[in-house]
Structure 1
Amino acid sequence: MMKVQLLRNASLVLTVREKTILVDPYLAPKGTYNAFDFTGNDRRNPLVDLPLSEQQLADLITHTDAVLLTHIHSDHWDDKARELLSENIPVLCQPVNEASIREQGFKNVTPVADELIWEGIKIGRTGGRHGTGQIGERMGIVSGYVISDGAEVIYIAGDTIWCEEVQQALDKYKPAKIIVNGGGARFIEGDAIVMDVPDILQVCNHAPAASVWVVHLEAVNHGKQSREEIRKALQEHRLSDRCFVPEDGGILF
């Protein structure tokens, strides 16, 4: 069985076939970085600490077999992660980010163009849209991943709103477990750049047999929707039995 733990924001610890994969590591202490620009507030990021002690973080880094990156925005691949991780660790990424990651000093970088097998684990890359209009274009290319150990299929959607690419991924892979980035993050102008409540409901309604987990919450200064708000909406739509909003450090499955 695959296991997933939420660290903070979109950072996940995925255990599959006795391998530990660190997804979108955002590892700096609370308040390390400036607020994102054009957000209407100056709260420093991350807004909260990791749910790990320094020793626990060191142990995690020691036991990490690979890193999987949906994209390389600073709240998914930060300076602290690059400092802590070995330059020789396998890094799996979307093709558009390969050169940048190599320039950062990492030597074992594998782009996932479509699908590949790594250590017996099947990883398929999916598309997404990190916002709409000009803001979506400026946010750049983002990816999600569908991961299978041969018995189970999970879909990590990444930084995307509900869009045709997400629908296509759900239709193609029919994952039983789905992890979406929520919170409705946005700038002063423009639409949300990750899923808000209506988008999360779309995912649940389009995949009625799947269980869904909502992460990417309450950790960055441009997030707009809280865990409480999302849980309330899920309860109102009678989805609390299969759509979950874990706390930082929580075990998803």
Structure 2
Amino acid sequence: MKIRQIRNATLVIEYGGVKFLVDPWLAPKDSMPAFPGGANPHLRQPTTPLPASIEEIVDVEAVILTHVHSDHWDHTAAEHIPADMPIFVQHGADKTLVSQAGSIDLDNGPHMRFVEGKSFNDVRVLTGNPQFKGVKLKKVPGQHGSDEALELAYDGLQEVCGLVFSHPAEKTLYLAGDTVWNEYVEANIRQYKPDVIIVNAGDAQAPGLGSIIMNNEDVCLVCAAAPSATIIASHLEAAHHALNTRAELRRHLTEAGLLDRVLIPADGETCTV
């Protein structure tokens, strides 16, 4: 498989002969304000530019959305992705929104935004372990923060999912999505025994709620739970509230003796595993 880091959680995954675009955040650099209540509210985002043209990025066979927060599915992506593109979403509510070419903008509080005159005609729900051109996609649970964070801020954090990819000619791939280390991630690793795991490791912070995606310690726990797997770290250095950096993650993994287990691609870089 080939996994190209685009920016933030946006990836192009070539798996089983199929090219998937995951969680496209395609807005121009500095075009969006900070999310309300997030760390570093003075920053605009995305804080980095795209490493390739939008036309190149959307030249895929299907799109996968782990959820529809606007740093994973934004108005720019909805504008540029073809209307007949197959798009996989986690549940019916996301299907309704995406079918109408809608996204959830989080600036100034969550609100829906739609591409006028456009709709997507092939939005598919991941329930039922669908196959796409021979690639099986298994939706698995994650949680966008601790139990306490979800209790306090569910309306903002909402539901997320991960995915397990399988194909007879490929290693098993687990895309964890926007989750912290928890019993769901541990159970997913134990059940599916993935050979490759993509983790969102930017330690995004919401004041008063703590980490809402994985931090350095969480990445180490993933390494311990899957000692034979290759780990790929994504969702770094593009969102204002994601406090971890590639350099800091490398330092932490070096001290833990785990740097040889984790790939930390730069924006635009491709990992072949």
Q: Same fold (TM over 0.5)?
A: yes
From 150, 161, 173, the equivalent of 1:143 is 161
CA 1:201 to 1:116, structure 2 compared with 1: closer, same or farther past 3 Å?
same
Matches of 1:99 and 1:51 in 2, distance apart?
Answer: 31
Find the partner of 1:80 among 76, 79, 85: 76
User: Does structure 2 conserve the Cα–Cα contact (< 8 Å) formed by 1:6 and 1:215?
Assistant: yes
TM-score scaled by structure 2? 0.88
Tell me which residue corresponds to 1:42: 42
Greater CA drift, 102-111 or 158-167: 102-111
Q: What amino acid does structure 2 have at the position aligned with 1:51?
A: P
For residue 161 of structure 2, what is the amino acid of its counterpart?
S
Aligned residue pairs, count: 248
1:222-233 superposed matches below 5 A: 222-233=241-252
- What is the letter of the counterpart of residue 13 of structure 2? L
Deviation at 1:148, TM superposition (A): 1.3
What is the deviation of 1:114?
4.1
The answer for the alignment partner of 2:211 in structure 1 is 192
| Matched residue type, 1:28 | A
Displacement of 1:136 = 5.5
Deviating beyond 6 angstroms after TM superposition, the runs of 4 or more aligned structure 1 residues are none
Match runs of 1:129-168 below 5 Å? 129-132=143-146, 133=148, 134-135=151-152, 137-138=154-155, 139-151=157-169, 152-168=171-187
User: Structure 1: any 5+ residue segments left out of the alignment?
Assistant: none
Q: TM-score scaled to structure 1, two decimals?
A: 0.94
- Report deviation, 1:103: 2.3
Hey, what does 2:26 align to over in structure 1?
Answer: 27
Which residue does 1:219 correspond to in 2? 238
Which residue is 1:103 aligned to?
100
Distance 1:225 1:60 in 2: 25
> 2-side partners of 1:178 and 1:187: how far apart?
25
Give the letter for the 1:241 counterpart.
D
Give the Cα–Cα distance (whole angstroms) in 2 for the partners of residues 206 and 93 of structure 1: 27
Once the 2 structures are TM-superposed, how far is the Cα of residue 59 of structure 1 from its aligned partner?
3.1
Please show how residues 203-218 of structure 1 align to structure 2 within 5 Å.
203-218=222-237
The yes-or-no answer on 1:58 pairing with 2:50 is no
Aligned-partner Cα distance in 1 for 2:159–2:69: 10
- AA matched with 2:136: K
Mapped to 2, the partners of 1:99 and 1:36 lie a distance apart of 24
Q: Which amino acid aligns with 1:187?
A: A
Matched AA of 1:47: T
Q: Which amino acid aligns with 1:141?
A: E
Q: Secondary structure at the match of 1:35?
A: coil
Aligned equivalent of 2:262: 243
Output one character per residue of 1:184-238: Cα deviation in whole Å (capped at 9) or x when no partner: 1012221100001111111010100101011100100001111111110100111
2: CA distance between counterparts of 1:191 and 1:92? 29
- Of 68-77 and 94-103, deviating more is 94-103
SS of the equivalent of 2:173 reads: strand
CA distance in 2, matches of 1:137, 1:38: 14
Q: In structure 2, how many angstroms separate the alpha carbons of the residues matched to 1:137 and 1:183?
A: 20
Q: 1:143 to 1:136 in 2, by over 3 A?
A: farther
C-alpha distance in 1 between matches for 2:204 and 2:68: 17
In structure 1, C-alpha distance between the alignment counterparts of 2:268 and 2:2, rounded to whole Å: 13
Alpha-carbon deviations, 1:13-51, whole Å to 9, x = none? 011233211000111110111111112422111000011
Q: In structure 1, give the amino acid aligned to 2:2.
A: K
Shift of 1:72: 0.5
Cα deviation per residue 1:153-208 (whole Å; 9 max; x = unaligned)?
11110000001111111011101100000111012221100001111111010100
Q: Alignment partner of 2:19: what SS?
A: strand
Q: Which residue of 2 aligns with 1:71?
A: 67
* 1:94 Cα offset (Å): 0.2
| Contact 1:136–1:193 under 8 Å retained in 2 | no
Q: Which amino acid aligns with 2:230?
A: S
